[in-house]
Structure 1
Amino acid sequence: MGPVSEPTRPRRRGRLARSAAAFAVLLGLASYVAVHQLTGSTGAPRCSVGSGDNRYEFTPEQASNAATISAVGTTRGLPERAVTIALATALQESALRNIEHGDRDSLGLFQQRPSQGWGTAAQIMDPVYSSGKFYEGLEKVPGYSRLPLTVAAQKVQRSGFPQAYAKHEPDAALLSAALTGRSPAALTCTTSEVKGRPGDPEQLRRELVRAFGEKAAPEAVTGGPSAGRSASEPPVLVVPVRTATGAGSAPGAGSDERRGWELAQWSVARADELRITEVSFGDRVWRAGEADGGWSKSSGAGAVGGASVRVRLAQ
Structure 2
Amino acid sequence: MPEPLPSTRKRRGRLLRFGAALVVLCAVAGYLVVQYVTGGTDGPSCRVVSGRSGGPSYEFTPEQAVNAATITAVGTGRGLPERAVTIALATALQESGLRNISHGDRDSLGLFQQRPSQGWGTPEEILDPTYAAGEFYKHLVKVRGYQDLPLTVAAQRVQRSGYPEAYAKHEPDAGLLAAALTGTSAATLTCDGRQETGRAARATGPDAVRSALVRDFGRDALETTAAEVGGKAAPSPAPTAADGRTVTLPVREDIGAGARRSLTERGWQLAHWAVANSSALRIQRVSYAGRQWTAGSTDSEWRAAGGRGDTSAVRILTAR
> What is the TM-score of this pair, normalised by structure 1?
0.78
The match for 1:216 among 215, 221, 238 is 221
Write out per-residue CA displacement over residues 191-213 of structure 1, whole angstroms, 9 at most, x where no aligned residue.
22469988322221111112112
State the alpha-carbon separation in 1 of the partners of residues 196 and 95 from structure 2: 31
- Matching residue of 1:46: 45
CA contact (8 A) 2:114 2:126 kept: yes
Write out per-residue CA displacement over residues 58-92 of structure 1, whole angstroms, 9 at most, x where no aligned residue.
00000110000000000000000000000000000
- Matching residue of 1:75: 77
Structure 1 position 291, deviation (Å)? 2.8
Flag the 1:219–1:135 CA change in 2: closer, same or farther, 3 A.
same
Relative to structure 2, which stretch is displaced further, 143-152 or 289-298? 289-298
Structure with max Cα Rg: 1
Flag the 1:176–1:200 CA change in 2: closer, same or farther, 3 A.
same
State the alpha-carbon separation in 1 of the partners of residues 279 and 181 from structure 2: 16
Is 2:224 the counterpart of 1:235?
Answer: no
- Matching residue of 1:309: 314
- Matching residue of 2:231: none
Flag the 1:181–1:148 CA change in 2: closer, same or farther, 3 A.
same
Is 2:127 the counterpart of 1:125?
Answer: yes
Is 2:300 the counterpart of 1:293?
Answer: yes
- Matching residue of 2:141: 139
- 3-state DSSP of counterpart to 1:220: coil
- 3-state DSSP of counterpart to 2:185: coil
Write out per-residue CA displacement over residues 269-290 of structure 1, whole angstroms, 9 at most, x where no aligned residue.
0110111111000100000021
- Extract unaligned runs of 5+ from structure 2: 1-41, 223-236
> Counterpart amino acid of 2:277?
R
Superposed counterparts of 1:26-45, under 5 Å: none
Structure 1 position 215, deviation (Å)? 2.3
The match for 1:271 among 278, 288, 294 is 278
> Counterpart amino acid of 2:102?
E
- Matching residue of 1:247: 257
Is 2:213 the counterpart of 1:203?
Answer: no
- 3-state DSSP of counterpart to 1:106: coil
Flag the 1:266–1:306 CA change in 2: closer, same or farther, 3 A.
same
Is 2:185 the counterpart of 1:178?
Answer: no
Structure 1 position 234, deviation (Å)? 5.1
Runs of 4+ with deviation above 3 angstroms: 193-198
CA contact (8 A) 2:190 2:301 kept: yes
The match for 1:116 among 111, 115, 118 is 118
- 3-state DSSP of counterpart to 1:173: helix
> Counterpart amino acid of 1:50?
V
State the alpha-carbon separation in 2 of the partners of residues 193 and 103 from structure 1: 33
CA contact (8 A) 2:78 2:257 kept: no
> Counterpart amino acid of 2:267?
G
Superposed counterparts of 1:158-197, under 5 Å: 158-193=160-195
Structure 1 position 222, deviation (Å)? 1.6
State the alpha-carbon separation in 2 of the partners of residues 115 and 91 from structure 1: 22
Structure 1 position 44, deviation (Å)? 5.9
The match for 2:59 among 42, 57, 60 is 57
Write out per-residue CA displacement over residues 11-66 of structure 1, whole angstroms, 9 at most, x where no aligned residue.
xxxxxxxxxxxxxxxxxxxxxxxxxxxxxxxx766001116661110000001100
State the alpha-carbon separation in 1 of the partners of residues 84 and 142 from structure 2: 12
Write out per-residue CA displacement over residues 129-178 of structure 1, whole angstroms, 9 at most, x where no aligned residue.
00000000001111100100000000000000000000000000000000
- Extract unaligned runs of 5+ from structure 1: 1-42, 224-232
CA contact (8 A) 1:49 1:187 kept: yes
Is 2:68 the counterpart of 1:66?
Answer: yes
State the alpha-carbon separation in 2 of the partners of residues 193 and 65 from structure 1: 17
State the alpha-carbon separation in 2 of the partners of residues 91 and 234 from structure 1: 37
Identity of paired residues, percent? 58
State the alpha-carbon separation in 1 of the partners of residues 208 and 82 from structure 2: 27
Q: How many residues align?
A: 259
State the alpha-carbon separation in 2 of the partners of residues 246 and 237 from structure 1: 25
> What is the TM-score of this pair, normalised by structure 2?
0.77
